Amino acid sequence: MGTILVIISCSIVLFCMLCFNLHLALAFDICPDQSCGNMVIKFPFKIKGKKTPQHCGYPGFDLVCTANNETVIELPSSVKLSVKNIDYKRQRIVLHDTQECLISQLHKFTLFSSNFKFIAKISEGYNFFNCSLADRDLYSHYMVPCLTTSNSELYAIPAEAMIESLPLSLCTKMFNISSFPVDFIRKSNILELLWSEPNCKDCESNRNRCGWKNYGVNNETQCFVNHKGSSTVLLTAGPVLGSSFVVFLVCAVYHFYDSYTRRKEMQVIFDKFLEDYRALKPTRYSFAELKRITNNFADKLGEGAYGIVFKGNVSKEFIVAVKMLNNSQGNGEEFINEVSTMGRVHHVNIVRLVGFCADGFKRALVYEFMPNGSLQNFKNSPNNKKSFLGWQKLHEITLGIAKGIEYLHQGCDQRIVHFDIKPQNVLLDSTFTPKICDFGLSKLCSKEQSLVSMTTARGTLGYIAPEVFLRNFGNVSYKSDVYSYGMMTVETIGGRKITEEMEENTSHVYYPEWIYNLLDEGEEMRIHIDNEEDAKIARKLAIVGLCCIQWHAAHRPSMQMVIQMLEGNEDRLQVPPNPFASAATRRKFGSAGIAAMQLNQGLEVIQELE
């Protein structure tokens, strides 16, 4: 881009130099003198009809050269007069009528809108009378000979004359004219005019040439030195062309050098881009860059346990969410997990990590901005009817989340277990497409092995699978994400927390169990449903959710099976076995733990991949 600008700049400079110098050298060859018969025509006059540039004449000074080489000017009111003489130094023009009756054309004439004005003193005007029956001797000094015939005499009486004292009772008034020279009638068919604009008197007196400045761009005139002869032109044009060639040569050399340098730089940038792309590295930002992107952290979107989220703009079209991590939370492992994990994944249902910041003790994660916030804001709830998106859209969102988790488990080179699936960690873009986020607790393992070793429980209470915090339920596997997904689905369709008071005068009820009892007993779903189609969707989501929250990991479906269930017909789905068979099982996990240990006998514990 810079090279193109340099070339354009050099070309403009070259062109301007050439034009400017040639203008000085050839100014009057561009607008040469014209002639019509023996009369020289030059600025401000121009012969109309000839191939002469418009800037060679001044508006209102157009002349016509007839076939008889007679110069004619057209004045206002379509008055056409022959030009007898032009005095450029005194700026005067002498006109006459070829029919020898000037007065016949001027009775409607005015110079109000013209560049010309009368030279002689102006009278109040003349009144014209036809006095064919009058005594000719009485008015002889007022007679207009060219309009007088044997049967009719026309007289021009000055307006200031005392008409009452004249014997005009036998006359008829024909017309009158105003603001004409006093001696106009007696000048025998001659009209003298002068012009004040354009003012070229001094220029012409010094034998120079008057013309437009900058070709009339600002309606200003200029006096040019009147060069004559082709030798002067050549002497001036030679150095101009020579200097222009030198400028062009310098620009050409610079262009080739600059192009070569830029090609090498672009190749280095391209190679680095390919290297980064192969490594799937997000962009690394400095803290100063984050301050610029977020306008000094002006627009706060929210705050969580690990940091504060701000809205930012990488460009006018690209909006991001910047999560500044707290220094006091000891979250170094979560930061490394997030960057390393999300740099590997690319899926429509996984939020994209645009970049990160590791500038001293300042740590931040930069995500694509999700304008509709989290799924937590759109759950079906009696208190949230205005924000509820409808059952069809909720079904699409649930299916999208399932596809995102299935991609983490099977679509990457290494299996990724999220360990914190919940409504708050599902973001919605402008079209309500779900995006799984927050991979701070995730772990990587080989896809050939299903189990993950863990030293501490991780996740959010209410969504954590039993085996994550109670070892008697067996080893932890990717099925832990299936359990969290099921809990999130059950909570989303009813809009209630995992434990919530269902009715008055009842004990603290486990909400998923309440859903199961409704399905098992064939009762209608006691949630907000408008029609039969919505009821089918609600029932399908409830069954899928309950299948996913079976106590034993082996009894839970894979996410691929969950997708098939959500995309299939609701009539083919069966209510799963009751995972809440006894209060002891629900609250203490004792009897379930024995069965779980039997299910996991002989399974090898797989270490997490670094």
Say if residue 567's pLDDT is above 90: yes
Lowest mean pLDDT of 152-161, 178-187, 246-255, name the range. 178-187
Q: What is the pLDDT of residue 511?
A: 66
Say how far apart CA 393 and CA 349 lie, in whole Å.
Answer: 15
pLDDT (average), residues 273-297:
78
- pLDDT value at 507 more than 80: no
- For the chain, what is the radius of gyration of the CA atoms? 50
Top-confidence residue, 412 or 271: 412
> How far, in Å, are 75, 102, 115, 178, 288 from residue 112 at the CA level?
11, 19, 9, 12, 71
What are the CA-CA distances from residue 440 to residues 25, 259, 419 (Å)? 78, 46, 9
Q: Which of 14-28, 300-314, 592-606 has the lowest mean pLDDT?
A: 592-606
pLDDT score for 138 = 60
User: For the chain, how are helix, strand and coil distributed in percent, rounded to 5?
Assistant: 40, 20, 40
- What would the mean pLDDT of 403-412 be, rounded to a whole number? 91
141-150, 186-195, 259-268, 394-403 — most confident range: 394-403
61-85 tens-digit pLDDT:
888 898 888 998 888 777 888 899 9
How far apart (Å, rounded) are the C-alpha atoms in residues 580 and 588?
Answer: 11
Which pairing describes strands 62-65 and 46-47: parallel, antiparallel, or unpaired? parallel
* pLDDT reported for residue 594: 34
Confidence check: pLDDT of 290 > 80: yes
> 187: which residues sit within 8 A by CB, 6+ positions away?
181
pLDDT over 60 (residue 6) = no
- Residue 548 has a pLDDT of 93
- Residue 587, pLDDT score: 44
| Under 8 Å between Cβ of 474 and 483 | no
- pLDDT of residue 421 exceeding 90: yes
Residue 238 has what pLDDT?
59
The DSSP code sequence of 333-362 is HHHHHHHHHHTT---TTB--EEEEEEETTE
What is the model's pTM? 0.50
Q: Do residues 502 and 382 touch, judged by C-beta distance below 8 A?
A: no
Q: How confident is the model at residue 258, as a pLDDT?
A: 82
Most confident of 201-205, 404-408, 466-470, 493-497: 404-408
Provide the residue ranges of all domains of the chain, joining segments of one domain with +.
Answer: 281-369, 379-599
User: pLDDT: is 235 or 132 the higher one?
Assistant: 132
What residues contact residue 183 under an 8 Å CB cut-off, 6+ apart? 120
Mean pLDDT lowest among 162-166, 200-204, 272-276: 272-276
CB 35 within 8 A of CB 86: no
Lowest mean pLDDT among 169-183, 204-218, 285-299, 581-595: 581-595
In our burial notation (b when 16+ CB lie closer than 10 A, e otherwise), range 510-549 reads bbbbbbbebbeeeeebebbbeeeebbbbbbbbbbbbbbbb
Local confidence band at 385 (pLDDT 50, 70, 90 cut-offs): low
State residue 497's pLDDT score.
Answer: 56
The highest-level CATH class for domain 281-369 is alpha beta
Domain 379-599 fold:
Transferase(Phosphotransferase); domain 1 (1.10.510)
Judge whether residue 50 has pLDDT over 60: yes
Band of residue 231 on the pLDDT scale cut at 50, 70, 90? very low
More confident residue, 306 or 498: 306
CA dihedral 167, 172, 175, 176 (to 10 degrees): 10
Higher per-residue confidence, 504 vs 243: 243
Residues 6+ apart with CB under 8 A from 210: 43, 44, 198, 200, 203, 204, 221, 222, 223, 224
Question: Which of the following is catalytic: 97, 420, 438, 481?
Answer: 420
**Known catalytic residue at 420:** yes
Residue 524: what pLDDT?
55
User: What are 337-355's pLDDT values in tens digits?
Assistant: 778 777 778 899 999 888 8
Kindly report, residue by residue over 520-538, the tens digit of the pLDDT: 665 555 566 778 888 889 8
- Tell me what the pLDDT averaged over the chain comes to: 76
Per the model's pLDDT, the better-predicted residue between 365 and 278 turns out to be 365
